[in-house]
Amino acid sequence: MANLGKEFSEVLENENNNGFPGFNSIYAANPWFIPEFVKYSLNTWTQLLNKDKISSWLKNYNLPNFSTPKTLGLVFAGNIPMVGMHDFISGFICGYNLKIKLSSKDNILMRWVIERLKTIGNISDEKIMICDSLMGNFDKIIATGSNNSNRYFEYYFAKTPNILRKNRTSIAILEGNENQKDLENLADDIFLYFGLGCRNVTKLYVPQNYNFEALSKAIEKYSFLRNHNKYANNLDYRFAIFSMNKVSFTNLGHLFLRENKDLQSYVSVLSFEFYDKKEELIEKINKKSEELQCVITKIDNIANRLDFGTSQKPELYEYADNVDTINFLIK
């Protein structure tokens, strides 16, 4: 598996290496996958897929040695580049035969990843197979999608041991004493992958009378996003909808701030909510832990807490929805 990380590193040095399809081809197939963000994803996995990190991750598990091969079905989402990567390597490491349904949104990049692992590991098509659909018999299933697709997953895979993931989001809690570096790191949590990931911050909790001026300066490094056609279309659409419906908002140029109690938000819109007492807020957020992937804050004693700028840098042992994938696979 560490060799796959080396493949990623070589592509980052020269995209003509290792049969890589090219950043422009990936972007042409899905305009949300701009080269900057695909490179970020590849770099993140380059750092994760080294022998030391893999060994540290797996040292507390007794990995199975199946006498009869077992099959794992994988249904990947495609909201951000390589979002199915962790499930893929987990299934492979645990010795399953893999049948994978790729998302049409991440068909080129993730297909290349799978084929490269098969090539460098001399792995057969029977061991890792990309399928158009996942109808058939499986020993276990891991499927990720929207709340709507999750209803179909629950129906089709009800009788198969499964992990079924649906929509979650992430938030940040500010205390008003954050420095500029904290806020610039928070900008990464908000804007990486256009905010389309479940680990992206879609809402802020801020103290009463919070001044957003420092945050406005910190997010300027992502002002280039307003030149992206799809993102700009979202800006235009939300501006029109908010204006017609007389919704109060603050226009930061490439982001709209809107006071709103909902956790979820829209592309190009960051919700916020004021709080009075920190202790009451902590209790409130902890009750919502099943809806949240990450909580970005300096405050301790909060479920799913992460430091600023780390939401899109999960370690191998940080599992989506806090469900231990390896433990599920080795049971």
Residue 179, judged by CB atoms within 10 A of its CB (0-12, 13-18, 19+), counts as exposed
Residue 294, beta-bridge partner list: 170
Considering the domain architecture, whether residues 60 and 163 belong to the same structural domain is answered as yes
Domain boundary among 121, 143, 167: 167
Q: How many domains does the chain have?
A: 2
Residue 256 CB contacts under 8 Å (≥ 6 apart), including other chains: 235, 238, 239, 242, 249, 250, 268, 269, 270
Task: Round to whole Å and give the CA distance between 203 and 195.
Answer: 11
**Sign of the C-alpha dihedral computed for residues 295, 105, 36 and 38 taken in this order:** positive
User: Does a structural domain hold residue 59?
Assistant: yes
Q: Which residues of the chain have pLDDT under 70?
A: none
Residues 161 and 173 in one domain: no
Q: What is the pLDDT of residue 134?
A: 78
> Do 16 and 148 belong together in one domain?
yes
> Rg of the chain's alpha carbons, rounded to an integer?
21
Statement to judge: residues 159 and 27 lie in one domain: yes
Q: Tell whether 41 and 181 lie within a shared domain.
A: no
For the whole model, what pTM was predicted? Answer: 0.95
Domain assignment of residue 75, yes or no: yes
In a domain? residue 260: yes
Residue 137: the pLDDT is 83
Question: How far from the centroid of its chain's Cα atoms is residue 75's Cα?
Answer: 15
Query: What range does the domain containing 185 cover?
Result: 169-306
183 and 299 fall within a common domain: yes
CATH number of the domain bearing residue 289: 3.40.309.10
Question: Do both 201 and 161 map to the same domain?
Answer: no
108 and 231 assigned to the same domain: no
Examine the fold and report which residue of 167, 190, 225 is the final residue of a domain before the chain moves on: 167
User: Given this model, what pLDDT does residue 133 score?
Assistant: 85
Q: Taking a C-beta distance cutoff of 8 angstroms, is the pair 331, 323 a contact?
A: no
Q: What is the pLDDT of residue 168?
A: 95
One domain, residues 88 and 116: yes
Do the domain assignments include residue 311? Answer: no
**Residue-level pLDDT at 68:** 87
Same domain, 266 and 216: yes
In 3D space, the residue among 110, 99, 92, 80 whose CA is nearest the CA of residue 141 turns out to be 99
